[in-house]
Amino acid sequence: MATYLTQTFSKNSPTTKKEIRASVIEAGEKRIRPCLMTTATTLLALLPVLTSTGRGSDIMIPMAIPSFGGMLIALITLFVVPVLFSWKKEISLKNVNNEK
């Protein structure tokens, strides 16, 4: 997501808050679907492992829990990174305007 945000900002060179937010939305639209699909397939693939009760489950469940948690964190960061990126750019834009 951060790579797409950086590429979009270098391509668009926004100078107002409205342009910054439009660039964030543009980058997010390109990246949200692939990220959600990857995360969803991984989480769905881990559900049978996490709910198993047969032989070997005592070993597999502790191995699957970090992967499941990591994918949940990835899902959260998918929405947090664009907000923080926009916030940072808006603050830097504000600082540039205050210096003038």
Give pLDDT tens digits for 17-38: 999 999 999 998 888 888 889 9
Q: What is the pLDDT of residues 65-78, one digit of tens each?
A: 999 999 989 888 88
* pTM of the predicted structure, to 2 decimals: 0.73
Number of domains present in the structure of the chain = 1
**Cα dihedral 37/38/41/46 (nearest 10):** -150
Instruction: Judge whether 12 and 19 are in contact, CB under 8 Å.
Output: yes
The rounded mean pLDDT for the chain is 89
Predicted local confidence at residue 97, as pLDDT: 79
* DSSP classification of residue 93: H
Task: List the structure tokens of 39.
Answer: 């995360």
Q: Mark out the alpha helices in the chain (DSSP H runs).
A: 2-12, 17-50, 57-99
Mean pLDDT of the region 73-89: 90
Q: Residue 7 belongs to what domain range?
A: 2-99
CA 11 to chain CA centroid, nearest Å: 20
CATH of the domain at 61: 1.20.1640.10
Predicted local confidence at residue 96, as pLDDT: 80
